[in-house]
Amino acid sequence: MIIAIDGPAGVGKSSVAKTVARELGIYYLNSGNFYRGVTLRVLRNHIDPSDNEACERQASEAVFDVRDGRFYLDGEDVEDKLHTPEIDLNASRISVNPAVRAIVNKRIHELTKKISIIAEGRDMTTVVFPDADFKFFFDAKPEVRAQRRFDQNPEAMPYEQVLSEIIERDTIDRNKPVGGLKIAEDSLYIDTSYLTLNEVCEKVLKTVRLSSKI
């Protein structure tokens, strides 16, 4: 069974996916970690994120793995190093590269054979898992998403800058030539702006359980 969730940054995809995974006893796969892993490798090697060919080489040479729910890059646990403002911004730019996306998608499929998963990202329902058993699209107002990110780490940057970066990231994600953020026709649309985490999780769980697939 595959449950796929798409949506822009800050709508609660990761939190909901993790909770649903625990509730159903399936594996939570964060597709964004793969792009963030490539980005971390690019930055560590002092490569210009706009150099598409160099970024493609970094993606093809990278070794991805998941152990005990932690993301590994080239044998190193980098789970706690993937969520910085620098990686946030550059991951969106690097993930525009069709060649990088093709490599990442192949690696994701290799890791998800023969297991039930819940995956979230930008193109899970449209490109990576178009035949997923369940598809959801989460959305929320940019101002609400910016406030959530700001509240998580108020010392990092002013709210106005957080909002500006979210809007910029939305523009990049929605205009990617491959894997752009779109709502699949058969996705269940959920606006999370004024819903609690538990309320969103219940909507997902109810949909899955009513199908009798699990």
Domain boundaries, the chain: 1-26+117-204, 31-115
Under CATH, which number does the domain 1-26+117-204 receive? 3.40.50.300
The pLDDT value recorded for residue 213 is: 54
Which tens digit of pLDDT belongs to each residue from 60-107? 999 998 887 788 999 999 999 998 989 988 998 898 899 999 999 899
Ranges of residues in the chain with a pLDDT under 50 are none
The pLDDT value recorded for residue 49 is: 94
- The predicted model scores a pTM of 0.74
Under CATH, which number does the domain 31-115 receive? 3.40.50.300
What is the percent of the chain where pLDDT is above 90? 67
The pLDDT value recorded for residue 208 is: 95
3-state SS string for the chain: CEEEEECCCCCCHHHHHHHHHHHHCCEEEECHHHHHHHHHHHHHCCCCCCCHHHHHHHHHHCCEEEECCEEEECCEECHHHCCCHHHHHHHHHHCCCHHHHHHHHHHHHHHCCCCCEEEEECCHHHHHCCCCCEEEEEECCHHHHHHHHHHHCCCCCCHHHHHHHHHHHHHHHHCCCCCCCCCCCCCEEEECCCCCHHHHHHHHHHHHHHCCCC
